[in-house]
Amino acid sequence: MPPRKEYGSKRTSGALLHFRPSVSATTVRRHSIVVPSVLTFAVIVASGGLLLMIEKGMLNGVQTPPPRANGKKLEYRLRSSGAASDVESQIVQEIRNRTIKSMCGQRNTPHSVWTLSPLQRKTLLQHILVNDKHRFLYCYVPKVACSNWKRVLKVLSGALANVDVKGKMDHRSDLVFLADFSPEEISHRLRHYFKFMFVREPMARLLSAYRNKFGEIEAYQRKYGAEIIRRYRKGYAKDKKIAGNDVSFTEFVRYLLDEDPERMNEHWMPIYNLCQPCALQYDFIGSYETLERDAAFVLESVGAPQHVRFPERQTWYKPVTKETLHYYLCTVPQKFLKELLPKYILDFSLFGYPLPNTTNEYCKP
């Protein structure tokens, strides 16, 4: 573990991305639950009709922006992209930044880590990984390539020889969490380190968690799957011999409806609650959908050695395609999906993801 008292000089801004969302210094603690209708209205007003654009599908064909570095061309680890793609990407990034700035400037939103509730702050600090050598903070989001990012951090710290070392990922050992530090040490790193996170389309992330945890991980099947079946499947309320390995996606959605977002398991907790983008001003917010490009930019920004690269996806990885997501969402009654979306509305609106179309016409075979 790196020494905690040797801070060194502040990183110069020349190598950093200046897409940092501005946050009003006068904002106060956000309530845990926001009335969806009020929230939707606030987003529409604040972001110039972002939700209207989302609902009409105006952003469907637009991808997350490529990283920029103060006008400098990035050649390190990056592949060139076309001019049209660059323009579209910059538009989406501008929408994302304006939305975050406007939403985080609303009343009842936190303006710093220290104005969060104790539970909110604990969750955030437990999800921020620290690298003192390269002076960065990474808020990890489960099901958004966080295992591969943890491999990168272990290579940078010397715990792994390279990102291709085989073996099960230990999500705790050889990693330094911001929660391990004193308030003074935390504040120093928040002020002076490069801060980044990665986001993903909210429903695709949920589906990825569902298929992985309830289809492959026995511990989750026993702990969560069995309880979900007892709650939501008729005739199983008192069955103590349930394996929990056949939870339907609809049952999973019903379970999420009854859960407090601030107390959810990290694999399906909203990204907003995990990383608090209003309380913490991130220097870069990358996207899972453009992972290779955005990861390369982050490695460039933190000054990672040339030989350190972001890992390729494993051969066994099962991607969530548009067709797969469409199939699963259309198996869920619309009334449940309409109740579920408000729980993840900040993930959709802040990060510019289109709301899913689950109308009867769309779901026709």
232 part of a folded domain: no
Structural domain boundaries, residue 45? 14-202+275-325+347-351
Q: Are 208 and 144 in contact (CB under 8 A)?
A: no
Average pLDDT of the chain is: 80
| Partners of 130 in the β-ladder | 137
Longest CA–CA separation in the chain, Å: 64
125 part of a folded domain: yes
pLDDT at 25: 37
CA-nearest of 251, 229, 224 to 239 is 229
**With 50 as the cut, is the pLDDT of residue 54 above it?**
no
Burial class from Cβ neighbours inside 10 Å (0-12, 13-18, 19+) for residue 172 reads exposed
246 part of a folded domain: no
23 part of a folded domain: yes
pLDDT digit string (tens) for 265-290?
999 999 999 999 999 999 899 999 98
Query: If you ran DSSP here, which 8-state letter would residue 4 be given?
Result: S
Nearest 5°: phi and psi at 99? Answer: -65, -45
Q: Which residue has better confidence, 294 or 140?
A: 140
Cα–Cα distance, 208 to 210 (Å, whole number): 5
| Partners of 196 in the β-ladder | 138, 284
CA-nearest of 172, 139, 142, 141 to 154 is 172
State the total domains in the chain.
1
**With 60 as the cut, is the pLDDT of residue 172 above it?**
yes
340 part of a folded domain: no
Classified as helix, coil or strand, 69 is strand
Q: Are 310 and 152 in contact (CB under 8 A)?
A: yes
339 part of a folded domain: no
**With 90 as the cut, is the pLDDT of residue 200 above it?**
yes
**In which residue are the tokens 């026995």 written?**
218
Cα–Cα distance, 5 to 172 (Å, whole number): 22
Work out the percent of the chain whose per-residue pLDDT is above 90.
56
pLDDT at 87: 67
| Partners of 199 in the β-ladder | 287
Q: Are 325 and 172 in contact (CB under 8 A)?
A: no
209 part of a folded domain: no
CA 283 to mean position of chain CA atoms: 14
317 part of a folded domain: yes
Helix (H) / strand (E) element for 275: namely helix 271-275
pLDDT at 71: 37
